[in-house]
Amino acid sequence: MLKRLAVGAALGLAAWFCSAPSWAQTVICYNCPTEWADWGTQVHKIKAALGITVPNDNKNSGQSLAQIVAEKGSPVADIVYLGVTFGIEARKLGVTQPYKPRRWDEIPAGLKDPDGYWFSIHSGTLGFFVNVAALHGKPVPQSWKDLLKPEYDGLVGYLDPSSAAVGYVGLVAANLAEGGTLDDFSKGIAYFKSLQKNHPIVPKQTSYARVLSGEIPILIDFDFNAYRGKYKDHCDCAFVIPQEGSVVMPYVMSLVKSDPHPADAKKVLDYLLSDAGQQVWANAFLRPVFAAAMPKDVAAKFLPDKDYARAHTVDYEKMAAVQKAALDRYLNEVH
C-alpha cells in the first residue's frame, strides 16, 4: 500500500513539474529596455506569469538587427523588438524565423508578415515630446516649420535616423509633411539640413530622461513617451502632432532564427498578445494591436481624434525597401 502511494505521489509530482512554469528560464530579447514603452512592467509581468526572466537590453532597432546579423552563426538572442521596417529587413537578411503566436488570426493583415516572420504588438504616433517648463516661456512648437525658427536653437533633439527606428520615422514623417514621397526623400533631406542650423541634439539611444531633465526640451518622438512623462512622471510636458502631418509606426516582435530557447521564447511572444500583455502597453499609452485592450480612462488622456487625423499609416513594406537609400542620403548630406 505504501509503495503504491509512493509511486502515485512520484507520478503526480512529475506531472506537476511538466506543467509548471520553468522558473529558472531566461529569454534574451534584444531592444527591450525597461525605460522604453514600459518594458519594465512587461518583463515583471512575464516573470510573474511564466517564471521566465527577460533581462533589460538597451539596444535600439538598428543596433539589435546588426547584432543579430553578426551572431547569425551562433545566436544569442531569442526574440527581438523592432520598428516595423527593421522587422521587414530582418526577414530579408534571414535572421528571423516564422512563428504565428496565439491570437494570430486577430492581428490585422497589414500589421503582420503573412508567413509569421514579424507581427505588431503596439504602435505609436510620431510628434513633438515637449518639456514646456524647459522652454522658459517660449511657445510650444506646433509645426515642423516652427522647429526651424531661431528661437529653438539648441532646444530640439531627434534620434539618429541611421541607428534608431524612431529616427527613421522622423525622417519619413518630415519628408512626407514637406511634400516628399517614399520614392524621393529630397524634401526630408532638405528639411534636416535646415534643422542643422539650429544645432539639434542627435542621440543614438532612447532619450526620455533627457527630456524630463530639460536637457532636450523638444524631442521628435512618440506620443506614448510624452503621455508617460505628463501623467506618470508628472513632468510639465506636452505632445504635439505637427500641423503639416505625421505618421503612425507599428512596433513588432520576431523570433530569432535558431534561437537558444525556442519553447520559452514562444511562450513570451504568446504572452505579449494576451489580454494581460496588451493591457500593459495600453496603460503605457501605446496603441495595443487589439484596440479593445485600451481602457477608456487611458484613451481620454490622448489628444483629440481631430489631432490624430493628421497622422497616417504608410506602406511599411515600401518604407522598408527604401530605408537604406534614404539613410545613405542622410549620412552623406546631413550627418
pLDDT digits (tens, 9 = 90+) for 221-264: 999 999 999 999 999 999 999 999 999 999 999 999 999 999 99
pLDDT digits (tens, 9 = 90+) for 275-303: 999 999 999 999 999 999 999 999 999 99
Which structural domain range is residue 211 located in?
A: 124-247+306-333
Q: Tell whether 192 and 230 lie within a shared domain.
A: yes
List the beta strands (DSSP E) in the chain.
Answer: 25-26, 29-30, 52-53, 79-83, 96-97, 119-131, 156-158, 218-222, 237-240, 246-256, 287-288, 311-312
CATH number at residue 274: 3.40.190.10
Is the pLDDT assigned to residue 8 strictly greater than 80?
no
Q: Are 334 and 193 in contact (CB under 8 A)?
A: yes
Q: Tell whether 209 and 82 lie within a shared domain.
A: no
Q: Tell whether 166 and 68 lie within a shared domain.
A: no
- Tell me how far apart the alpha carbons of residues 300 and 193 are, in angstroms, rounded to a whole number: 37
Residue 71 maps to a domain: yes
Q: Are 51 and 22 in contact (CB under 8 A)?
A: yes
- CA-nearest of 133, 132, 131, 137 to 151 is 137
Q: Tell whether 201 and 258 lie within a shared domain.
A: no
What are 21's three cell numbers?
512554469
For the chain, the domain total comes to 2
**Residue range 48-68: mean pLDDT, rounded:** 95
Is the pLDDT assigned to residue 3 strictly greater than 90?
no
- Tell me how far apart the alpha carbons of residues 260 and 76 are, in angstroms, rounded to a whole number: 7
Compute the residue count for the chain.
335
First-last CA distance in the chain: 80
Count of helix runs (H) and strand runs (E) in the chain: 14, 12
Is the pLDDT assigned to residue 173 strictly greater than 90?
yes
What's the pTM? 0.85
Lowest-confidence range among 4-8, 80-84, 176-180, 272-276?
4-8
Q: Are 248 and 123 in contact (CB under 8 A)?
A: yes
